[in-house]
Homo-oligomer: A and B are copies of this chain.
Amino acid sequence: MTSAPSQPKSSSPSQEDLKAIIAPVQAELAIVEQWLTTNLIDDNPFVGELLAQVFQSGGKRIRVAIALLGSKASLKEGAELGRLNIIQAVLTELIHTASLVHDDVIDASALRRGKETVNKRFNDRLAVLLGDLLFAQASICLARIMNPVVVGIYGQVLGDLCAGEIGQMRSQFVYDVNWERYINKSIAKTASLFAAGSHAGAILNAASNESVQALKDYGVNLGLCFQIVDDLLDVTGSSSELGKEPGSDLRAGVVTAPALFVLERDDEPAKRLRELIKTRQIVNDEGAEEGLKIIRENGGVEATVALATRYAELAKDSLSVIAPSDARDSLVALIDYVLVRTK
Q: Which of A36-44, A80-88, A261-269, A300-308 contacts B (4 or more CB under 8 A)?
A: A36-44
Determine the residue in chain B with the shortest Cβ distance to A123: B169
A136 touches B124 (CB 8 A): no
**A193 interfacial by beta-carbon distance below 8 Å:** no
B-chain residues with CB within 8 Å of residue A154 when the two chains form the complex: 139, 143
**A47 interfacial by beta-carbon distance below 8 Å:** yes
**A158: contacting residue among B128, B139, B165, B169, CB under 8 A:** B139
B44 touches A126 (CB 8 A): no
**A125: contacting residue among B46, B106, B125, B155, CB under 8 A:** B106
CA distance A99 to B145 in the complex (A): 25
**A161 interfacial by beta-carbon distance below 8 Å:** yes
A161 touches B143 (CB 8 A): no
**A44: contacting residue among B140, B142, B145, B163, CB under 8 A:** B163
A155 touches B40 (CB 8 A): yes
Contact with B along A34-56 (1 / 0, CB 8 A): 00000011101011000000000
Determine the residue in chain B with the shortest Cβ distance to A127: B128
A132-B129 contact in complex given A41-B155, A143-B151, A148-B144, C-beta closer than 8 Å = no
CA distance A134 to B151 in the complex (A): 16
A162 touches B140 (CB 8 A): no
CA distance A38 to B153 in the complex (A): 19
A42 touches B159 (CB 8 A): yes
CA distance A132 to B163 in the complex (A): 10
Determine the residue in chain B with the shortest Cβ distance to A162: B133
Interface residues of chain A, those whose CB is within 8 Å of chain B, are 40-42, 44, 46-47, 99, 102, 105-106, 124-126, 128-133, 135-140, 142-146, 148, 151, 154-156, 158-159, 161-163, 165-167, 169-170
- Listed from nearest, the 7 A-B pairs whose CB atoms lie closest are A41-B159, A136-B158, A139-B139, A143-B151, A140-B155, A133-B162, A106-B125
Excluding A44-B163, A106-B128, A126-B166, 7 further A-B contacts by CB distance (< 8 Å) are A41-B158, A105-B128, A106-B124, A124-B124, A129-B166, A135-B136, A139-B143
